[in-house]
Structure 1
Amino acid sequence: MTTALPGAVRSYHVTSGAGIDGLTLRVGAPRRPGPGEVAVAVHAVSLSFRELLVLRGRYVLPVRPDVVPVSDGAGEVVAVGPGVRRVRPGDRVTAALFPLWRDGPLRPQWLPQLGGSLDGLLTELAVLPEQALVPVPGHLSYAEAATLPCAAVTAWNALTGDGTGVRPGQTVVTTGSGGVSLFAIQLAKVLGATVVATTGRPDRARRLRDLGADEVVDSAAVPAWHTAVRELTGGRGADRVVHTAGPLEESARCLAVSGHLALVGSLGSASGRSAEGSTEGSTEGSTGGWAPLDPGLLFGVAGTLRAVAVGSHAQFTELAEVVAAHRLRPVIARTFPFEAAREALRHYETAAPFGKVVIAVR
């Protein structure tokens, strides 16, 4: 089924390595969806650190030349191609970063990603595979829904993707105040955990508590912050750490016996961001800045270290259901108009925002 499409569509394009100044806005004819495809009028997108890596030419996965960037967005279905059954015009949807990854462990053939090897969502009209789409939770705006695909799914995977997941009464540690960490606090509380948040920005402690953190450790004042986690847990340590910022060794040192360390990323000097920057996805650590980790720290507590690669469509669907059931709301730091996409990226790059930076497309 198809409906009237706009006569012209504005889209941003960039070639990996061209930087923010290489982002160009063009006007072109819309493409009608083919078999199994859906045309989505994009209402909002949100920025993640992977977008900066693409612009810097440092993203670990392939990026095709002249790609439409940005993986995270939400919009309204306006047309569907032959064979589409799950959605219809008028539906509010978002999309999984890896459209081909349905469920189970990530496989090489499922690595094509939006805003990288596939066109992304920094456009007025995106044509996406039906299988990539996830319904928007009913209580969320388009801007709020646009924050889910990378940061929220990564946090959910970090908390549940090992097969056992966080159980009520366990202790979860989050590091920094980037997008993944903020979602991890909210989701860990939903799962019944006690949350200890670490931050090098003491001015953010109250906001972390308001979001659900039971305790906040100032990692700037206490660089060996694993000692504070031990004290807060009566010497037991954390059942799970969602590591997005700071020294990986500290995260490993605060693990309880059989604890789980979910490695999302680690921002250091090589990334050009402070430890409080917004780590959003699975490959931030590829920018460099890794310090060696003594395997004995894990062996001594029979701990598990797992790298988190955002998540599958099944994990995204589960996450969306949890967000809807508990009426969770993402934290949005600032919204920019579509025409100010470059300014939005510069703000995201330099301001270390508390919450997501959103671009309103329409």
Structure 2
Amino acid sequence: MKGIVLRQPGGLDKLEAVDMRDPGVPGPGEIRVRLRASSLNYHDYGVVSGGIPTADGRIPMSDGAGVVDDVGDGVTEFAVGDHVISCFFPDWQDGPATAGDFKRVPGDGIDGYAREGVTRPASWFTRSPKGYSHAEAATLTTAGLTAWRALVVDGGLKAGDTVLVLGTGGVSVFALQFAKMMGAKVVATSSSDEKLERVRALGADHTINYRSHQDWGGLVRDWTGGRGVDHVVEVGGPGTLAQSITAVRVGGHISLIGVLTGRSGEIPTAALMAKQARLQGLIVGSRRHQTELVRALDATGVRPVIDKSFGLGEIADAFRLQESGGHFGKICLEY
């Protein structure tokens, strides 16, 4: 079985293709999955680049999609031939959040899915949406579920709401798609006019080049007639949060998801208080959230936006594309 290991955290040159042992026969409650795809997230990049500490020899990648090729005793939810996707937090099945770190996250605290097969508890997976390719399904584990939880689970998104999405990475593009799916209006930002054309093609109602308009929070507020947006999907962190607070309405909701501009920084607390807005940090979601997302995608037919796919052995090149910021939507590995 082919796979990738991170010999020593700290650089893409430490990623190495190796032969691995067969994952073995599934025991009671387990399934064996022939993995076919993964997708890249900034969390994965943090692990392989050394920004997030992990163990030597770690198998990276938190997202995994493939086909069940054997089931253990007592497994009734899945059968051989079913298409499945992994869960980011395999131990968080339902209810309130239970994890505040990544100790049990595949590809970080434990081995991940940059390999051709795994044997794991059936509860670590859900079904894939009907008709999805494995690459499309792999985009849901982290990016898709994060956007879904931010807007639908925590945000209570409804038709007629207004949503601000920052940039054109995987979470932001998913948030745009889910918002339009739910009947909301969307304003999107980017530093690239070409990418803004692409988000308009996906249904964005208004776009702003944040490099040309540094006071983009005020422009967003103006677009709503001075009211502000109902929801902000905040992936930038400290470098963009002040503008997001400017953009949100009084009593609105800001989902703090990313740290692309840094891990800490000044927060305009007086402005946040005046807005009486809810600033909520979140990390992906539970298995139940994922099954609800899959059900919604089956009902609506929304498909992910994949910029480019690479082979498993090209994983370093895939991360270099992500590092460059030149992608739109998701980058995948297919094997």
Describe the SS at the equivalent of 2:258. Answer: strand
2:231 is equivalent to residue 240 of structure 1: yes
Aligned partner of 1:191 in structure 2 is 182
Cα deviation, residue 159, structure 1 = 0.4
Aligned partner of 1:278 in structure 2 is none
2:139 is equivalent to residue 147 of structure 1: yes
2-side partners of 1:218 and 1:197: how far apart? 9
2-side partners of 1:342 and 1:233: how far apart? 42
Aligned partner of 1:216 in structure 2 is 207
The CA deviation string for residues 6-46 of structure 1, in whole angstroms up to 9 with x for no partner, is: xxx11111156232111111113212222222111011111
| Residue in structure 2 matching 1:122, options 114, 117, 129 | 114
Unaligned runs of 5+ in 1: 1-8, 269-284
Unaligned runs of 5+ in 2: none
2:322 is equivalent to residue 348 of structure 1: yes
Aligned partner of 2:149 in structure 1 is 157
2:4 is equivalent to residue 12 of structure 1: yes
8 Å CA contact 1:185, 1:213 repeated in 2? yes
1-side partners of 2:218 and 2:144: how far apart? 28
1-side partners of 2:15 and 2:99: how far apart? 29
2-side partners of 1:64 and 1:83: how far apart? 33
Cα deviation, residue 195, structure 1 = 0.6
Q: How many residue pairs were aligned?
A: 331
Q: Which moved more, 1:64-73 or 1:145-154?
A: 64-73
Aligned partner of 1:39 in structure 2 is 32
Supply the AA of the counterpart residue of 2:49: R
Cα deviation, residue 103, structure 1 = 1.6
1:278-297 to structure 2, matched below 5 A, reads 288=263, 290-297=264-271
8 Å CA contact 2:245, 2:275 repeated in 1? no
Supply the AA of the counterpart residue of 1:196: V
Describe the SS at the equivalent of 1:197. Answer: strand
1:1-362 to structure 2, matched below 5 A, reads 9-15=1-7, 17-32=9-24, 33-59=26-52, 63-108=54-99, 112-162=104-154, 165-245=156-236, 246-268=239-261, 288=263, 290-361=264-335
Q: CA distance change for structure 1 residues 194 and 65 in 2, over 3 Å: closer, same or farther?
A: same
Cα deviation, residue 129, structure 1 = 1.8
Supply the AA of the counterpart residue of 2:184: A
2-side partners of 1:346 and 1:331: how far apart? 19
Aligned partner of 1:279 in structure 2 is none
2-side partners of 1:137 and 1:153: how far apart? 13
The CA deviation string for residues 294-348 of structure 1, in whole angstroms up to 9 with x for no partner, is: 2111211210100111111111111111112111111111111222222222222
Q: Which moved more, 1:222-231 or 1:290-299?
A: 290-299
2-side partners of 1:332 and 1:186: how far apart? 13
Q: CA distance change for structure 1 residues 89 and 159 in 2, over 3 Å: closer, same or farther?
A: same
What is the percentage of aligned positions where both structures have the same residue? 37
